Amino acid sequence: MARENADTLRNLIRTRLRGHKFVTVSNREPYVSEWRNGQREWKRPASGMVVALDPVMRATRGLWVAYGKGMVAAPGNGKSEFVDVPPGNPSYRLKRIWLPEEEEQNYYSGFSNSALWPLCHIAYRLPIFHEKHWHAYQAVNERFAQAVAEEVGDEPAFVFIQDYHFALLPRLLRKRCPRAVIAHFWHIPWPDPEVFRVCPWKEEILRGLLGSDLLGFHIRFHRNNFLDTVNQQIEARIDRERSAVVYRRHLTKVRAFPISIDFDSVSSNAMSPETEARMNELRQRYRLSDDVILGVGADRLDYTKGLPERLAGIDRFLDRFPEYRGRFVFLQAGVPSRTSVAEYHRLNEEVNAAVRRVNEKYGTPEWQPVIFVREHVPLAELLAWYRLARFVLVSSLHDGMNLVAKEFVASRVDGVGVLLLSEFTGAAREFRNDALLINPYAADGMAEAIHRAVTMDCDEMRRRMGRMREQVRENNVYKWAADILRKLAKFV
């Protein structure tokens, strides 16, 4: 089959989904903006989900419904319910929902990020279950159901719901939009049934999700965990052969669709003259002479991403291989995330302290081993970081997929560079032979893997990177979307 791209996706939509509205629902808006000196400044949020869905929405020219937090209104103007995006070249429409502050706090920081997020990730943080968080979560799912129903009504439509913020939405929509085909994609891991069992509202969550026609996870392992959880918790029939669940006479297909990135766009941006210019700027800004070996990390500041563990690995590397002191630099971008959740505050402090420790232990007046940039770094600049790196280090304790790994691979148009990848990411299933897999809990192993990355010969790097690039080129985000849409089209 020919490789999928924006054109093949548009074609698929034209031929297979004709006459249907296409609606995506997510918590987060795909573009955020602020006003600076009378000018609107746009940013793309640091979110893997947005990276994956924006190209799909451009191709479908659909409607994206999201919580309208990210765009500050023009001075003197009210908030707009509808906004056409992407900025400067609009191809789809945003419908923005506003939430009362307390409700938002309880639904987002509360149930979504203090209960479901730690529940689904094995990172040894206890989930916090509060009744008021759960009530807000239910209320917000109701609000979104109402907002989508206003647009879809009883018209034929495809509604594609994103993530753990909206587990209840599929069932709520089934009642309100009788002709809609409903898909839900769960962007984070699904845990073992014994883990999920502690959730006081587990049955409601499962029933909500089973309102979908199609339910997607990144990898088969998460899909199997979900089927086992349903089997354990509710009266439903599991059809393992068809990978489906029948609950109250409704069939939900449950499949694995590994998410990806727009390989061609990342690759061509990575080789643009702008990226080359940025690489030169970075060399100067951080005094990266040719004999400096650069490692790179880029993450939201989230405890699942294993940042303190990564710093422990770097510490061990400099301890065991002192010959690299003075000529090894690790450049880490960490964008603050979910700052109203206490656990994330603690993490911030922990990361600061760990950076300080490593720098004090090994640094000299001329050299600092870790440079920590606590900022949102635009993708165009991250590509320059990736291109300068000898290796990128992804040390997640648990991660649904991890798109940083794929962006790094797509950016390496020169065919070299090494990916150090946690074995607990979804991406590790695709790169198990060509990345250097690491266990973030084992600092010694990480130090050895860093050593292997900095001493790997060029031929081996090329072989490994070449195969990883082929993997992402073939299995790009358009294939992810096309596979889902083809499945959806079968419901019509």
Pull the structure tokens for residue 158. 């495809």
- 324-383 residues in contact with ligand ADQ (CB under 6 A) are 333-335, 376-377, 379, 382
When the beta carbons of 119 and 404 are compared against ligand ADQ, the nearer one is 404
Contact status: 443 vs ligand ADQ (CB under 6 A): no
Using CB under 6 A as the binding rule, the residues of this chain from 41 to 70 that contact ligand ADQ are 46-49, 51-52
Residue 370 contacts residue 314 (beta carbons within 8 Å): yes
Considering only the stretches 15-23, 79-87, 402-410, 473-481, report the one whose residues sit in contact with ligand ADQ under the rule CB under 6 A.
402-410
In the complex, the smallest distance separating the C-beta of residue 218 from ligand ADQ, rounded to whole angstroms, is 7
Compare residues 236 and 397 and give the one whose CB is closer to ligand ADQ: 397
Q: How far apart are CA 60 and CA 159, in angstroms?
A: 12
- Nearer to ligand ADQ among residue 133 and residue 187 (C-beta): 187
* Nearest distance in Å: CB 481, ligand ADQ: 12
366, 327 in Cβ contact below 8 A?
Answer: no
Q: Judging by beta carbons within 10 Å of its beta carbon (0-12, 13-18, 19+), is residue 433 exposed, middle or buried? A: exposed
Write down the residue that tokens 């009642």 correspond to: 175
Looking at the Cβ atoms of 188 and 421, the one nearer to ligand ADQ is 188
Going by the DSSP 8-state scheme, the letter that residue 72 receives in this structure is P
Positions 95 through 154 that interact with ligand ADQ (CB under 6 A): none
Burial class (CB in 10 A: 0-12, 13-18, 19+), 92: buried
**Binding status of residue 401 toward ligand ADQ by CB under 6 A:** yes
Q: How far is the CB of 421 from ligand ADQ (least distance, A)?
A: 11
Tell me the closest approach of the beta carbon of residue 426 to ligand ADQ, in angstroms: 6
Question: Whole-number minimum distance, CB 404 to ligand ADQ, in Å?
Answer: 5
460 to 104, 327, 389, 454: CA distances (angstroms): 50, 23, 16, 12
Interior angle at CA 394, CA 113 and CA 45, nearest 5: 50
Stretch that binds ligand ADQ, among 136-144, 192-200, 393-401, 450-458 (CB under 6 A): 393-401
Residue 236 within binding range of ligand ADQ, rule CB under 6 A = no
Residue (184 or 207) nearer to ligand ADQ, CB: 184
Report in angstroms how near the CB of residue 24 gets to ligand ADQ at its nearest: 13
d(CA 57, CA 9): 10
* Alpha helices for 101-189 (secondary structure H): 101-104, 117-120, 131-152, 169-176
The distance of Cα 468 from the centroid of its chain, to the nearest Å, equals 19
Token pair 């909206």 is found at 166
Cβ proximity to ligand ADQ: between 206 and 382 the closer is 382
* Cβ-based nearer residue to ligand ADQ, 4 or 299: 299
Residue 479 makes contact with ligand ADQ by CB under 6 A = no
Give the residue, chosen from 33, 402, 411, 476, that forms a contact with ligand ADQ under the rule CB under 6 A. 402
How many whole angstroms separate alpha carbon 117 and alpha carbon 143? 21
- The residue behind tokens 């987002």 is 108
# chain residues binding ligand ADQ, by CB under 6 A = 26
Candidates 181, 176, 169; CA nearest to 207 is 169
d(CA 5, CA 482): 9
Q: Is residue 258 a contact residue for ligand ADQ (CB under 6 A)?
A: no
Question: CB of residue 163 vs ligand ADQ: minimum separation in angstroms?
Answer: 8
Of 4, 29, 104, 299, the residue at the interface with ligand ADQ (CB under 6 A) is 299
Binding string, 179-208, against ligand ADQ, x = CB under 6 A?
--------xx--------------------
Contact status: 259 vs ligand ADQ (CB under 6 A): yes
| Region of 124-132, 401-409, 411-419, 429-437 interacting with ligand ADQ (CB under 6 A) | 401-409
Reported for 365-369, long-range contacts at CB under 8 A and 24+ positions apart, including other chains, are 366/326, 367/325, 367/326, 367/329, 368/329, 369/314, 369/318, 369/325, 369/328, 369/329, 369/330
Q: What angle do CA 432, 437, 441 make, to 5 degrees?
A: 140
Least separation in angstroms between CB 413 and ligand ADQ: 17
Residues interacting with ligand ADQ, by CB under 6 A?
Answer: 46-49, 51-52, 187-188, 259, 298-300, 333-335, 376-377, 379, 382, 399-404, 407
